Amino acid sequence: MGFLRFCWFISTIIVFFSNPTPIAAGDIVHDDKFAPKKPGCENDFVLVKVQTWVDGIEGAEFVGVGARFGTTIVSKEKNANRTNLTQSVPHDCCTPPKNKLTGDVIMVTRGHCKFTTKANIAQAAGASAVLIINNQRELYKMVCEPDETDLDIHIPTVMLPQDAGVELERLLSNRSSISVQLYSPRRPVVDIAEVFLWLMAVGTILCASYWSAWSANEAAIEHDKLLEDFSEELSNTKLVGTSGIVEVNTKSAVLFVIVASCFLVLLYKLMSAWFIELLVVIFCIGGVEGLQTCIVALLSRWFKHAAQPSIKVPFFGAVSYLTLAVLPFCIVFAVLWAVYRDYKFAWIGQDILGIALIVTVLQIVHVPNLKVGTVLLGCAFLYDIFWVFISKKLFHESVMIVVARGDKSGEDGIPMLLKIPRMFDPWGGFSIIGFGDILLPGLLIAFSLRYDWLAKKHIRAGYFLWAMIAYGLGLLITYVALNLMDGHGQPALLYIVPFTLGTFLSLGKKRGDLGILWSSGEPERECPHVRLGHSHAADE
């Protein structure tokens, strides 16, 4: 599978750096987030559900955002009143409406006067609430003007997106009787989806690390056995079984981040429906190769003969019967996911393909020593912070978050992430984590277990256990920060890298292993002139 593996590996290395951070559902446009609060204009921005009834029959539900001014909106549905909806005449409500309002909710269009002017006029006319229809598809935070000081608005004001306004206006034009109910349910502090996502990320690294360490250990045993019989012949040869391993060096670690930044900007500039389709194809290629590699590795324990390369296929090289048997299933699985990826349970297929891809990358790509791991994670740490936070100053929005959500594509976002639907969140959506937030720390953690096994260290005396605990704590802190920041995207590596890398460095220094870990990355062996698994230069 050499040709396919090459295509898949190159695409994976590029794509996993376009690394979306965990994002909760319900983010809104932040154009006015720096507007100061003042008396009468100090509400927190909250998402608002607008449930409709058409001629007494329950209809569509729309989502809006509450204004800085006006009364707060009730949080429980049972406490929300069901009120008649009326279209303002004139539609902009910049002058007193001609139609009579007796406690109705009035629907007005954005423009021609200030938001607070519309609310004051509607309140004076007897409206119980104001629905302002935006002139764009997204939501906009409504604030007060800097010179407004005397605000006395006692009715709630909510903005709805343009498409919601079009639908409501269509219903009203048909002379239907429309009533609405406004309420703003609160999000749970922690959703069970975040717990499962945490377990999924930690479990993926755990499985991948053990597979990587087991392969390295088997290669070491085979090497030692051959060395006893053919020491002279092997002194100038590479280790058997490691030709498929790709080792990262310091230059390639820095280059990865530079290429990733260029690719992320490319994603941001070219983000569209067709570009998402291209990413889906790339993801499917990587997912197919990862899935078949994992399945073949599992089945080869029972079908050893069928797992041996036995057939030569053009462009792919020697292929085993087992691979030929498994590959069609993997291709069909990926194609079915791609076709039905917008369906409710498609996230399961995406996670299966994603986990298989991550596990296979961690099996193939190795960090040879702590120096390379430090450079790689250090660069990724700066990369994550820059493209989540600092990029706002250059592009007026967070490039990483825009790409992760697919804001400019009309799609649900890029597929290079693991996600689980939020189970107890009234606003729905997904808890997600980017591949890079698992892959990059996973490279260092897998290295720690390979070192522990080769050094014959017990679990508590080694580095793997503490690196796994550090990663788990770092990811946990990420979700705590995510909830404290009201669901706004957070760069996970901002928290994971200091925990994971800091633990490794401090333990290595305390135990006196830092020199070996930093330079060679291997315990001393009987034949130091033969280095385990280094089919490429470890450093330059």
Q: Count the helix, strand and coil residues of the chain and give each as a percent rounded to the nearest 5.
A: 50, 15, 40
What's the one-letter identity of residue 232? E
pLDDT given for residue 23 in this prediction = 39
Contact 477, 468 (CB under 8 A): no
**437 in catalytic set:** yes
pLDDT given for residue 306 in this prediction = 59
Q: In the numeric block, which tokens belong to residue 297?
A: 């590795």
Spatial distance between the Cα atoms of 222 and 226, rounded to a whole number of angstroms: 6
pLDDT surpassing 80 at residue 511: yes
pLDDT given for residue 430 in this prediction = 85
Over residues 274-279, mean pLDDT = 83
Of 20-34, 107-121, 500-514, where does mean pLDDT reach its minimum? 20-34
Closest CA to 245 of 202, 213, 280: 213
Where is 105: in which H helix or E strand?
strand 105-109
pLDDT given for residue 1 in this prediction = 44
How high does pLDDT run on average in the chain?
A: 81
Query: pTM for this structure?
Result: 0.79
Helix axis angle for 464-484 and 436-454, nearest 10°, is 160
Contact 523, 447 (CB under 8 A): no
Residues 6+ apart with CB under 8 A from 346: 337, 340
pLDDT surpassing 70 at residue 326: yes
Phi, psi of 170 (to 5 degrees): -65, -40
Confidence of residue 228 (pLDDT cuts 50, 70, 90): low
Spatial distance between the Cα atoms of 441 and 221, rounded to a whole number of angstroms: 27
Spatial distance between the Cα atoms of 500 and 476, rounded to a whole number of angstroms: 13
Residues 371-429 have pLDDT tens digits of 999 999 999 999 988 988 888 888 878 888 777 766 554 456 678 889 999 888 888 88
Higher-scoring residue by pLDDT: 216, 287 = 287
Residue 417: other Cβ atoms inside 10 A: 27
Higher-scoring residue by pLDDT: 228, 34 = 228
Instruction: Catalytic residue, from 104, 384, 425, 452: name it.
Output: 384
Of 227-236, 257-266, 355-364, where does mean pLDDT reach its minimum? 227-236
Residues 52-105 have pLDDT tens digits of 999 888 989 999 999 989 888 888 888 888 999 999 888 889 998 887 788 899
Q: In the numeric block, which tokens belong to residue 98?
A: 């001609």
Higher-scoring residue by pLDDT: 4, 215 = 215
pLDDT surpassing 60 at residue 239: no
pLDDT given for residue 528 in this prediction = 44
Where b means 16+ CB within 10 Å and e means fewer, 3-29 reads ebbeebbebbbbbbbbbbbbbbbbbbb
**163 in catalytic set:** no
Confidence of residue 224 (pLDDT cuts 50, 70, 90): low
pLDDT surpassing 70 at residue 257: yes
Instruction: Catalytic residue, from 104, 425, 437, 452: name it.
Output: 437
How many helices (DSSP H) and strands (DSSP E) are in the chain? 16, 13
- Cα distances from 282 to residues 38, 185, 275, in angstroms, run 50, 39, 11
What's the one-letter identity of residue 242? T
* pLDDT over 90, % of the chain: 37
Of 71-85, 184-198, 522-536, where does mean pLDDT reach its minimum? 522-536
